[in-house]
Chains A and B, each alone.
Chain A
């Protein structure tokens, strides 16, 4: 159930920051515009790829959260009904669209599916506690992923802006060249 973030190291440690180009004309000196643009394009592609992965992780977590909330709601309701001493009467799904009626009296424990083919029995308070811990872990993960998304988004925007600046600088340069050509002709 627990999902580890990129092997302990934070994303800025793993993924280099897109460097900001202070002076584009200086940056383009000695190198061809095409090479410079290709370099940016490559970096942009890598960042985009990482972003995709982050977005997927985010979606997985966002999907997991309501699942845990659902489990928690059931456990809490069972606990409340046990407290009141009422017998739980419910329709439970036998298969997707087939429901059967069940009466549950004196529910002491539930089985939690832990994943990887393992199911464990927990007393109601223990189950509730475990699920609450899971839920807290989930939202903690979500905020980490959010930070990672912010970071990668910054790098993407920086590369995009740099590419625009190089292109526009190249235009100005070409314009200068053609100006000189017409002048000398």
Chain B
């Protein structure tokens, strides 16, 4: 499944059968009539049940990709499947099982939040009108908007609008939730709530595809990530694989810097760096406890031992060769 690639090289399509993917794209490309290449040869493979982080700076093609996934924008080349159904032909089968928030919420300003949700529900011809009150009530409850449901949309704060957008995405039972920048405009408290919500939804078995330009906001909830840069996919894998694949280090605190350095070097660890009271090296395949035992056996006074995983941010900087707007 790990398919990280150099920028410019195409990412291998996943070997999993298409039925196991909530989203699968093959060579998806969009060139707008102005000539701008927004998405270039995209091969996404989003496993069912995953929380899939779709990262990239603003303008890297995330929203265009999401619009293509939902059949709003037609691809110039390539194809894709949603929930195992070929799009855009299969929209009537696939889309009712997909909830979405696309480039911010949009509702009729003069209608109340509640009336807007009724309208969304009326547009879905597979939704049962007999259960709409119940489903709408549950969705409002879930995003904490029950008290403000009767207020006109134009009187909502940015955060409330965002919540209503998420509520609209959850009006029915969904197999896939596509959330484009769901934390935009939310305060830190609201951001935390969205993360909690995403975790809950995922725990119920719904696949969540969440895009963001803010790595830190979704890093904690994602099981998988893909990174876009300038219309191309530069990385795609599970979070664990991404982290393990790159530079986990062991760090030893010790007064015997020289002895510790030679022990680590003798164990065959790469990139051993000794410093004042601290020695570190790439962990590789060795278990940290055996390294500790080895050092204690050689009489090195170990004061502290830590395994340091690189932050995803570091990994991305490594992968993309440049940092991106991690703080917005």
Q: Do A and B actually bind?
A: no
- B residues contacting A by CB (< 8 A) are none
